[in-house]
Amino acid sequence: MLLTVENLSVSYGNIKALHGISFEVDQGEIVCIIGANGAGKSTTLRAISRMIPAETGSRILFQGEDLLEYPADKVVTDLGISHVPEGRRLFENLTINENLKLAAFARSDEDGIAADRERVFSIFPRLKERINQKAGTLSGGEQQMLAVGRAMMSARKLMLLDEPSMGLAPLLMMDVFSALKDINDEGTTILLVEQNARMALQFAQRGYVLETGLLVLEGPSQELLEDPEVKKAYLGG
């Protein structure tokens, strides 16, 4: 297993957002976690990227290493996990070029950086055209491309994606997901959380269903797509 999450619990003050969830992601997979507003999807990703502390008793293993020993910046640089946060969170005061450079801040393999840049531009040619434009002036779709491009520059083993479909027109959404498929084909494992369950399940091989901090269902995407409960609750009947 590439990533093993066991009994993960997270609280914000008195509010318990995750009640001891467990799941796994294998090397090369695309796995999705679907759930409604406030289910704890973003919280799960934040705990893996160490943006928020996990409660004692939680265990996260990445390639056999205890991930919870690593601070957030080392999760990126030492473990190779990138996180595209909810709402993209680009540095809107910096240009596309600067955002991409910043994502490679801790890397010193100049050749690797140059190759990754080329990959980003070949997957998202639009970014190259606008390379010196401030991120804050990009359209929503371009911002999502830059957010994914930034993650490609920072780490390549596992990419955590928080609602990449948010705010995108259907056609653009297909573009972004097909780019993600390319990235996955090149060896980056993907863990995706989505409210858009149909899109996520069509894209991922396996899925988990998160309900108010508990995983209630799991299985291959096809099974979940056909599951009556899932259909009723997440796919609009």
Partner 1 sequence: MEFFFQQLINALQLGSFYALIAIGYSMVYGVLLLFNFAHGDVFMVGAYIGFFVSSALLGLNIFGALALPLSVTLSLVLVLTLIISMALNSIVGMLVERIGYRPLRDAPRASAAITGLMIGIILETGNLAILGPQRRSFPELIQSATINIAGVSFTNKKILIVFISILLTLALHQFVRHTKWGMAMRAMAYDYVVVPLMGISTNKIALMTFALGSALAAAAGILYGVAYPVLDPNMGILFGWKAFVAAILGGRGSILGAGLAGFLLGFIEIFVATIFPSTMRNLIAFGIILIILTFRPHGFFGEPFSAQLRL
Ligand X SMILES: Nc1ncnc2c1ncn2[C@@H]1O[C@H](COP(=O)(O)OP(=O)(O)OP(=O)(O)O)[C@@H](O)[C@H]1O
Binding site for ligand X (CB under 6 A): 12, 15, 17, 35, 37-43, 86, 195
Stretch that binds partner 1, among 78-86, 110-118, 192-200, 203-211 (CB under 8 A): 78-86
Phi, psi of 48 (to 5 degrees): -70, -40
Tell me whether residue 50 or residue 117 sits nearer to partner 1 (CB atom). Answer: 50
Q: Which residues of 75-88 are buried (b: 16+ CB within 10 A; e: fewer)?
A: bbeebbbbbbbbeb
User: Which listed range, 34-42, 166-174, 183-191, 218-226, lies at the site for Mg ion (CB under 5 A)?
Assistant: 34-42
Number of residues that bind partner 1 (CB under 8 A): 31
Among 6, 24, 78, 86, binds Mg ion (CB under 5 A): 86
Q: Which of 2, 31, 42, 176 binds Mg ion (CB under 5 A)?
A: 42
Binding of residue 189 to Mg ion (CB under 5 A): no
Among 16, 19, 59, 107, binds partner 1 (CB under 8 A): 107
d(CA 193, CA 178): 16
- Distance of alpha carbon 184 from the chain centroid: 12
Q: Is 233 helix (H, G, I), strand (E, B) or coil?
A: helix
